[in-house]
Amino acid sequence: MKSDIQIARETPLKKVKEIAERIGIERDAIHNYGPYMAKVPLRLKKEEKIDRSNLVLVTAITPTKAGIGKTTVSIGLALGLNRIGKKAIVALREPSLGPVFGMKGGAAGGGYAQVLPMENINLHFTGDFHAVTSAHNTISALLDNYIYRVQGTPREIKEVLWKRVLDVNDRSLRYIVTGLGPGNGVPLESGFDITAASELMAILCLAEDEQDLRRRIDNILLGYTREDKPFTVKDLGVAGAITVLMKDAIHPNLVQTTENTAAFVHGGPFANIAHGCNSVSATKMAMSYGDYVITEAGFGADLGAEKFFNIKCRKSGLQPKLTVIVVTAQGLKMHGGTPEKAIRQPDMAGLVKGLENLSKHLENLAAFGQTVVVAFNRYGFDTDDEIGTVAEFCRQRGIRFAVNNAFTEGGKGAVELANAVVDAIENEPSQPLRFTYPDDDSIRTKIEKVALNVYGARDVVFSEKALRRLNRIEQSPLSAFPVCIAKTQFSFSADPNEYGVARDFRFKINDIVINQGAEFIVAIAGEMMRMPGLPADPQARRIDLVDGKVEGLS
């Protein structure tokens, strides 16, 4: 089969103004970034249409090293729906440059289910990540300048919580000392996270409009003063300037799929220490013009879907009509104990055992009140027997099942899935969301409810540091925020090697991070990587410009 970039290049693109016009947006109302990408102004959201649109979340079983193809299924489903005459739009996260040059080589779908122009989307796109990087580091410079100028006074900053960000995989920047040498400020232990982990990225994805953006920026907690008072961006007096740096970034980006249907690709917060969903504004913009809107959430359903419901939907009022959960035979087999090198061969025992992982996710999704369709993302080496077994598993539980072939066939390969999705929404839509916890639970209780009821933990223990921070929060209005638990994506537990379903485990919270602007409390379980490193043979060595064309993105 052709490579992703080959397929992308051979797909005739339509002008983005035409894409806009087709879904009902006036062509001159959008702002082009070249012929095939555009920003759609926030004012073009239509609340009355949003209420009538059918939102579908695409999530997955617990991911394994084999990959699941959630983005490909999301795009494929939108293509399939358009094939059967529905007006469907997909809303996705933007890829991060760091991983593109490190391991992944791209994150804009795959095969015949991609968003295009993939070589732009995977690179600088419309500059949203750069705007976040720039805004974040401008706060850092202003903060360090403030620290430098007030040192030795009562306004001195005692504890600094804010670091810097870059959209690059650079392990050398994780832990650094800044401000060395005469005249160069105050020496501080610090570090860089990847831009996707910036609180500003989470804010971009949750802000409803410019006013809300500014309000949230004002609230960002940067540290504590000598008198233990919180010190925020408002205290620095620069929220206006930071809002200005993000004024274009907050408008959703319109691009197209491999079948020239509309796609909004906007925002890319990390799925562990942030909530891992595209922007609320992109989802709502898509819902303003599409009867069906397909969106995804990062990692497996325990992480991505949980945060999508408990954070993104709670804050924005979104109500998904349906959740699609993606499974692969490879993934199920790995959860069932099949050794990694054998997962392309049939192993029915492993596959059946692996269904326990799917089963637990189905149970969780039911608890949220969601109707579910299981999408089997087909690879060439999957057998009919394997597909039949998963189909039968679903049939017995009264859950709709469909095979997805969009990677190799585009929308044609997702018609079965599209029909299952329409049938479910028309005949058995999800109930109103039942959140895992109410706003007025304490942060500690919220964490415990997620760990026990979603992950399946026996109990939760908190480190001394976490408890100290929790005590500070529980007395304040911050305790009304939802929690965003940062744990490994490879297991229900905090142990990345525990495949399948973990049971009866003790869940440990090491640290608590206050995202006062994004309005959630991050609870960190285990060591969370906020700045990836590069592999021994980085993808950058295979990316090139040949005759004006980009090679090496996939």
Please report, as residue ranges, which positions from 246 to 275 form the binding site for a copy of itself (by CB under 8 A): 247-248
Task: For 214-250, give the DSSP string.
Answer: HHHHHH-EEEEETTS-EEEHHHHT-HHHHHHHTTTTT
Residues 170 and 486 sit within 8 Å (Cβ to Cβ): no
Q: Which is nearer to a copy of itself, 157 or 521 (CB)?
A: 157
Q: Which is nearer to a copy of itself, 188 or 366 (CB)?
A: 188
Tokens 């469907």 -> residue: 88
Q: Which is nearer to a copy of itself, 123 or 452 (CB)?
A: 123
Query: What CA–CA distance (Å, rounded) separates 286 from 289?
Result: 6
Report the residue count for the chain.
554
Q: Does 554 bind a copy of itself (CB under 8 A)?
A: no
> Cα dihedral sign for 73, 75, 78, 80?
negative
Q: Does 24 bind a copy of itself (CB under 8 A)?
A: no
Q: Does 524 bind a copy of itself (CB under 8 A)?
A: no
**Which of the stretches 172-180, 199-207, 286-294, 301-309 binds a copy of itself when contact is defined by CB under 8 A?**
172-180
Q: Does 526 bind a copy of itself (CB under 8 A)?
A: no
- The closest alpha carbon to 428, from 372, 390, 359, 375, belongs to 372
Q: Which is nearer to a copy of itself, 184 or 476 (CB)?
A: 184
Question: CB of residue 190 vs a copy of itself: minimum separation in angstroms?
Answer: 8
Q: Does 210 bind a copy of itself (CB under 8 A)?
A: yes
- The closest alpha carbon to 89, from 235, 289, 241, belongs to 289
Q: Which is nearer to a copy of itself, 148 or 381 (CB)?
A: 148
Please report, as residue ranges, which positions from 142 to 161 form the binding site for a copy of itself (by CB under 8 A): 142, 144-145, 148-149
Q: Does 173 bind a copy of itself (CB under 8 A)?
A: yes
Residues 269 and 176 sit within 8 Å (Cβ to Cβ): no
Q: Does 167 bind a copy of itself (CB under 8 A)?
A: yes
Crossing angle for the helix pair 128-150 and 199-206, to the nearest 10 degrees: 130
**Which of the stretches 181-189, 431-439, 441-449, 482-490 binds a copy of itself when contact is defined by CB under 8 A?**
181-189
- Beta strands 113-116 and 109-110 are antiparallel
Q: Does 29 bind a copy of itself (CB under 8 A)?
A: no
Residues 118 and 258 sit within 8 Å (Cβ to Cβ): no
Please report, as residue ranges, which positions from 122 to 141 form the binding site for a copy of itself (by CB under 8 A): 123-124, 127, 130-131, 133-134, 137-138, 140-141
Q: Does 245 bind a copy of itself (CB under 8 A)?
A: yes
The only residue of 89, 168, 422, 451 in contact with a copy of itself, by rule CB under 8 A: 168
Q: Does 177 bind a copy of itself (CB under 8 A)?
A: yes
302: left (phi over 0), alpha (psi -120 to 50) or beta: alpha
Task: Tell me: is residue 70 an annotated ligand-binding position.
Answer: yes
Task: For 196-221, give the DSSP string.
Answer: GG-HHHHHHHH--SHHHHHHHHHH-E
- 3 state SS for 354-404: HHHHHHHHHHHHHHCCCCEEEEEECCCCCCHHHHHHHHHHHHHCCCEEEEE
Task: Give the per-residue contact string, 211-240, with a copy of itself (x = CB under 8 A; - = no).
Answer: ---x----------------------xx-x
Question: What 3-state class would DSSP assign to 522?
Answer: strand
Task: Give the per-residue contact string, 69-108, with a copy of itself (x = CB under 8 A; - = no).
Answer: ----------------------------x---x-------
| Binding positions for ATP | 64-71
